Amino acid sequence: MFEFFNVRQAGQGRAARGPNRWDWVLLPLVLAVLAAAAYGAMQMARPFVLGQATPVSLDVAVLPYYLLRTILRMFMALGCSLLFSFVFAAVAAKYRAAEKVLIPLLDILQSVPILGFQAIAIAPFIALFPGSLLGVECAAVFAIFTSQAWNMAFSLYQSMRTVPAELSEAARVFCLSGWQRFWRLELPYAMPALLWNMMMSMSGGWFFLVAAEAISVAGQDIKLPGIGAYIAVAIEQENGRAVAAAIVAMLAGIVLYDQLFFRPLLAWADKFRFEESQGETAQRSWLLDWGRRSRWMRRLADRFWARMRGALGWFGGVPAVRASAQATAAWQRALPRLWDGFLALAACYASLRLIVYVHAQVGWAEVGHVVLLGLATLLRVMLLIALASLVWVPVAVWIGLRPRYAQRVQAVAQFLAAFPVNLMFPVVVFVLVTFRLNPDIWLSPLMVFGTQWYILFNVVAGASTVPTELRLAADNLGLKGWLKWKRVYLPAVFPAYLTGAITASGGSWNASIVAEYVTWGKTTLAAQGLGSYIKQMTDAGDFHRIALGIGVMCIFVMLLNRFFWRKLYLLAGDRSL
């Protein structure tokens, strides 16, 4: 009898360790994703010689393959952007001296057009992988990276700077080191906003996909297999049916990675919300629910997190021993002054070199003309950001406070944010030419078409983290209407809104190159502005004026961020929850 029970218990133990029905349901899905990724990665390393023709077919049957190649590039760029954001935000938030350099540098980087990054990166990548398509693929991934990384880095930096005081005090009480504080406090606190910005980054990658996959180098056009190159060829040939097919394929891709990647991550990150009581409706994901019911997936996840805790030292560890205050006080007073002096000398040297370059290559009259064009683009950017804020902040707060609606609009918002403005060129050209409208006015909305969603996504993320107890307290106090918005909602989402507005502003400057110079077949419409100037000089191959246009754009963005957005950001840090 005892032997029978022992055999029965052993059989039950083996059954508990074996696969269940959820494992068998998930297994085909996991294998399909791995096989598709492996096949796409193999195609990226095919032989290639500079000068070889790279034809792109407009046959609808090739769209699934093109979609696979595009999504692989975008996720590679997203991984690089995430690593960059971790390093950038940690250094900028923790070291005051580094912050003085990194934040202006980020302003410059997000204002440099993707065409400028391509001109720098293409030749080195091709030289790094001679005889292989991998060099061009790396150049395309780098171009997509430059459209994804900056808003993620700034979002993580802003979240780390606005960690609530009580959480920081708890970290000091538990004697967490800087490494442990980042992984156990700052990153979990920033996770909801970071995930929404990751979704926006994927959408931003779609927005500039045509420029990333249709590359011009050494007088030759290289078009990589992908949705961006497909759209570029369709625009060249004025093929409306191919444009419509590309829109459908793009929508399918967005829904696919939303369900398989972002929706599970958002549902998982719901536990990081900063509140004492559970929210009304948590994010849900069918894939995450299946994974939690799967024995193999749960066991794999447990082993992964155990290895991560051991590797990163999340638990345990002794804080570093600090030197005595007397020994370091003199250095703490002297180093900031030396660093500020070094930065001032570097700025003077850069200004001197810029003056010499302008005087020798382009002339001061051209500089004055470009500055006036920059003022015209500045007016468009500020007006459009203000209008987008008036429209989307109330909508985003309403969505963020109702997670069940946030799940419904998530994929729709991603699709609208990802919709490349190039696909609107046929309609825009037809309307402006038919009704004889002024391009200086009616091309302007294209600048904010793809960047306004930075405001929506960030404010939704900010509103979704408003503590439930704060909302209940406002209801108990009888706050209604504008008073409730003024005292509760707007202060709560203000830091998140600024992150979205800053990145939307920088993205609008970048998008001006596409929006102020519209081409459909042989028809071209141009508005007076800095983006149109850079695009025309790029087509003409005038590198001195390209550099002048990009430099002036960087200066405008830096001044705007320093004297406008930075002031508001400091105010947000003082009034954050």
* 431 token code pair: 């309307």
139-167 pLDDT tens trace: 889 988 988 898 899 889 988 888 887 88
Closest CA relative to residue 534, chosen from 225, 111, 204 = 111
Mean pLDDT over 330-354 rounds to: 70
Report, in angstroms and rounded to the nearest whole number, the Rg of the chain calculated over CA atoms: 26
Q: What CATH class does 80-272+282-292+340-575 carry?
A: mainly alpha
- In this prediction, residue 322 has a pLDDT band, given cuts at 50, 70 and 90, of very low
User: pLDDT higher for 120 or 390?
Assistant: 390
pLDDT of residue 359: 67
- Residue 50, Ramachandran bin (φ over 0: left; ψ between -120 and 50: alpha; else beta): beta
Give the alpha-carbon dihedral of 451, 455, 456, 460, to 10 degrees.
150
Rounded to an integer, the average pLDDT of 389-401 is 90
The percent of residues above 90 in pLDDT, for the chain, comes to 14
- 75 pLDDT above the threshold of 90: yes
61-75, 192-206, 337-351: the lowest-pLDDT one? 337-351
Q: What are the CA-CA distances from residue 259 to residues 88, 104, 400, 407, 447 (Å)?
A: 29, 36, 19, 11, 29
Q: Give pLDDT, residue 450.
A: 73
pLDDT value for 275: 55
Q: What is the pLDDT of residue 10?
A: 47
Task: Extract the tokens encoding 449.
Answer: 């078409």
pLDDT in tens, 462-479: 888 787 777 788 878 878
Tokens, residue 447: 């600048």
Q: Determine the pLDDT at residue 311.
A: 60
Please tell me the distance from the alpha carbon of residue 257 to that of residue 410, in angstroms, as a whole number.
12
Task: Give tens-digit pLDDT for 36-58.
Answer: 999 998 998 888 887 777 788 99
pTM of the predicted model as reported, rounded to 2 decimal places = 0.77
Mean pLDDT, all residues of the chain: 80
Most confidently modeled range among 149-163, 369-383, 470-484, 504-518: 369-383
pLDDT number for residue 325: 46
The pLDDT of 211-223, averaged and rounded, is 72
DSSP 517: E
Instruction: Provide mean pLDDT across the span 533-554.
Output: 81
- Percent of the chain residues topping a pLDDT of 70: 83
289-302 per-position pLDDT tens digit: 888 888 888 888 77
Top pLDDT among 435 and 519 is at: 435
Question: Is the separation of the CB atoms in 557 and 107 below 8 Å?
Answer: yes
Mean pLDDT of 365-377: 91
Spatial contact of 204 and 147, defined as CB atoms under 8 Å apart: yes
pLDDT, position 67: 94
Q: Are 378 and 556 in contact (CB under 8 A)?
A: yes
